[in-house]
Structure 1
Amino acid sequence: MPRTEAECVGALDCTHVKIQSPGGIDAESYRNRKGFFSYNVQAICSSDLKFQDIVCRWPGSAHVSNIFRNSRVRNDFENGVYGDNLLVADSCYAIKPYVITPLLNPHTRAEHLFNEAQIRTRNPIERSFGVLKRQQILSLGIRLKQEKVEAVVMSTVVLHNIALSMGDVEPPEINEEIAAAIELTNNVNNDMVGHVQRGINNSVRYTLINTYFQNLL
């Protein structure tokens, strides 16, 4: 029986996995904005912190929106594979019918309620990265040849999912004040992205705001 309402099927974000300098003429493309060499790893996780999709082939300097734009999962959403279902993401990403991002400048009470719900729904991806990086090879950095990095990351993700399936303890919820600070930082660092997003696919968010969050007041 087909679904009558859209569902959130995952939280989307990227995290940097530290590596040693790969050397060669392209080495600087792996230096991220924090100054160290890394892979910018895209992930989608479920509410129970398990990873559903991983992309580990982009250098640290790659922007998250470009990684998603060129991903298979984005192509699947564009082609209707996931129906009317959607992802939640932070303001680094462009608003799409299938990617719900927070409002950069909420004004009404309903808009603030929407942002609070969006941040809480997105919270598992931050927590899942925290759990994943308890594995020392990710927290300290991968000092292997570049061609082995993807295999190492994928292996740690598999171990992460297995550990959660076996009842490994999850970390606590991220404090809401910290989440708000993260959101503010994202908004400042991605101000130009926000300007581009204004007016594009805003009807997706405002349909949610007007049909659900406004009714909560």
Structure 2
Amino acid sequence: MKTKLFNVAGFPSVIGCIDGTHIPIQSPGGDNAELFRNRKGYFSINVQVVCDADLKIIDIVSRWPGSTHDSTIFNASFIRSQMTPVANPATAAEHRYNSHIKTRNIVERAIGVWKRRFPCLSLGLRTTINTTVSVIVATAILNNLAIIPYEHIDNVDDFGEAEDQAIEENPNALGNAVRNTIIDTYFN
């Protein structure tokens, strides 16, 4: 997978691209209804999506009201601890590292394919918030099933306990170390 994404724009060690998208909903009503009104004026769920080079959704966070900024969702996500942009780039290499727009374009295409495959994601959902969140995640799963044949689905129990423990102890350390190695190796 890293090779496919590297071939897009020469950005090494990338396994996924991240972006946010708004899924329109009806007003949920109640005291917190306005939290779901996004900056464009309609009610929505703000969904964070990570996809791979094949446009499969490999991570999804579908629970934030439409008024929530993408950076808030990212900062609260597990993905942030894995690989983060340089907060205050000081060198030319760090600036080049942060400007990976060509590679990121893949997630925009993935979201477009997903929303075209399931028009309810663009037209709006008229269900309760809990049902809406479930529908969003279910369509992401169905989207992936439409992309990959069944014989290529691997066992999801292949994650090692040791790796999980290392990440939990210091979630930013691993991501930051990888990021710094990539900057030093490829962008200097």
Q: Does structure 1 retain, via aligned residues, the 8 Å contact 2:84–2:179?
A: no
Q: CA deviation at 1:165?
A: 0.8
> Counterpart in 2 of 1:99?
84
2:41 is matched with which residue: 35, 43, 48? 35
2:109 is matched with which residue: 118, 124, 127? 127
TM (norm. structure 1) is 0.59
1:162 is matched with which residue: 129, 142, 145? 145
Q: Secondary structure at the match of 1:8?
A: coil
> Counterpart in 2 of 1:46?
52
Q: CA deviation at 1:212?
A: 2.5
Q: Secondary structure at the match of 2:17?
A: strand
CA RMSD of aligned residues (A): 3.0
Structure 2, unmatched stretches of 5+, are: 1-11, 150-176
> Counterpart in 1 of 2:125?
142
Q: CA deviation at 1:41?
A: 0.4
Q: Does structure 1 retain, via aligned residues, the 8 Å contact 2:50–2:60?
A: yes
Q: Does structure 2 retain, via aligned residues, the 8 Å contact 1:103–1:115?
A: no
- For the residues of structure 1 that align with 2:74 and 2:178, how far apart are their CA atoms? 19
- For the residues of structure 2 that align with 1:137 and 1:45, how far apart are their CA atoms? 20
- For the residues of structure 1 that align with 2:184 and 2:13, how far apart are their CA atoms? 17
- The CA deviation string for residues 75-124 of structure 1, in whole angstroms up to 9 with x for no partner, is xx3xxxxxxxx5xxxxxxxxxxx2237999x9x7x7886566x1122121
- For the residues of structure 1 that align with 2:76 and 2:146, how far apart are their CA atoms? 30
- For the residues of structure 1 that align with 2:130 and 2:96, how far apart are their CA atoms? 45
**More helix by proportion, 1 or 2?**
2
**Greater mean alpha carbon deviation, residues 144-153 or residues 65-74:** 65-74
Structure 1, unmatched stretches of 5+, are: 1-5, 78-85, 87-97, 167-202
- For the residues of structure 2 that align with 1:129 and 1:102, how far apart are their CA atoms? 26
AA aligned opposite 2:133: E
Counterparts in 2 of 1:210 and 1:119: CA distance versus 1, 3 Å? same
Q: Does structure 2 retain, via aligned residues, the 8 Å contact 1:18–1:141?
A: yes
1:26 is matched with which residue: 7, 25, 32? 32
TM (norm. structure 2) is 0.67
Question: What is the percentage of aligned positions where both structures have the same residue?
Answer: 48
Counterparts in 2 of 1:65 and 1:112: CA distance versus 1, 3 Å? closer
- The CA deviation string for residues 156-212 of structure 1, in whole angstroms up to 9 with x for no partner, is 10111011114xxxxxxxxxxxxxxxxxxxxxxxxxxxxxxxxxxxx9978756642
